Amino acid sequence: MRRRVAPLALLLLAILTPAVAGAQTMSAALARVSSRLDGIAEVKGKKVGVTAFPMSAGHVSEFGAYLADQIDVLLAGKAPSGGFEVISRGALCQVIRENRLWVDDRFDPSLARKLGRLSPADLLVTGQVTPLARELSVSVRMLDTETARVLWAETLTIPLDDALRALVARRVGGDDCSSVAAAPAREQAPSGPEPLKVRIWTDKPAYRIGDTITFGLRVNRDAYVTLVDIGTSGDVTVIYPNRFSPSHFVRGGEDVMIPGAAATFTLRVQAPPGFEQVKAIVTEDPIKLHSSDFGPGGPVFRSLDRVQTRDLSVGFDRERVRVDVGKLTQEVIVVPVGR
């Protein structure tokens, strides 16, 4: 009797869980990505990173984080023969965390371009996961972080088993870097003056495109401040110092408003909708993080290209290693922008 039960059970299993036409196992899907990467000439000599695979609803699941990690490992194995360099997930996650590029569990559509400005990555592999009845539809694409041009795109169909279904059901909170450990924080020396602190704010909690906006900042003691705006488009602009306030020295306890009450200019929120990050970089000693030569008749603010933005980040990181932890700090706020 037992010999007859087993075939019947297998037959019932086959009826209840039919194979998905064209579906690929997880390993086959990764092999497909690997083979496609071999044919992309643009990767040679470039720095490549892997970022989020959010669900179609906008959040990241454990499956999306797992998929990103697996592609990251795949790229690392192909880099020596492919002639490209892999920017580790850890390095990208540090940039995401320090600049608050991930807002709660909401995906920022400009994340790739922002990472291209703030990290060394020239190309990013990213995509989206869409759950269907018995399968996952996974779009994978490689983007040029400067132009947002898609160099390659592929749609994979992966059958859902119980293990993958559980990963899809579990959300990753905060950012897509749950599997990547944060860099250890440096400790403050036990003696000495109070460490530098900065507070930045805007005049409203959220904005619509075209609204006027005012920024404010305050430091707890005399310091030198650079205020950087990372726009919803990914464009990076130094808004303090500026042509009307060319010195970045700020006295402790005093509020600095941009624009100030007597200013002859206004700031307006620009398209597209999304999330705008405003970052304050504060040091006890004056250091030159960017060009601040505002000539007469020139622009009010300093726009930074990709090289200049990266130089700004590198300069701060260099100072962070060189000086005591209490003598410099940075703070980031996120400003939601709607239509």
> CA 179, CA 69: separation in Å to the nearest integer?
8
pLDDT digits (tens, 9 = 90+) for 37-96: 777 888 999 999 998 788 888 788 899 988 998 999 989 998 998 899 999 888 888 888
Tokens of 280: 């304050």
pTM of the model: 0.75
Q: Give the class (CATH, top level) of 18-169.
A: alpha beta
Position 2 confidence tier, pLDDT thresholds 50, 70, 90: very low
Q: Are 78 and 34 in contact (CB under 8 A)?
A: yes
Least confident of 212-216, 228-232, 304-308: 304-308
Percent of residues, the chain, with pLDDT higher than 90? 37
Percent of residues, the chain, with pLDDT higher than 70? 82
Domain ranges of the chain: 18-169, 198-338
pLDDT digits (tens, 9 = 90+) for 141-193: 999 988 888 998 999 999 988 888 999 999 886 555 655 655 555 555 555 67
Res 19 pLDDT > 60: no
Angle between helices 111-118 and 89-98 in degrees, nearest 10: 100
Average of per-residue pLDDT values in the chain: 82
> CA 281, CA 217: separation in Å to the nearest integer?
11
Q: What confidence score (pLDDT) does residue 28 get?
A: 87
More confident residue, 59 or 105: 59
Average pLDDT over residues 92-114: 78
The correct CATH number of 198-338 out of 3.90.950.20, 3.40.50.300, 2.60.40.2550, 3.10.20.30 is 2.60.40.2550
Identify each DSSP E strand in 43-103 by its residue range: 47-50, 85-86
Res 294 pLDDT > 70: no
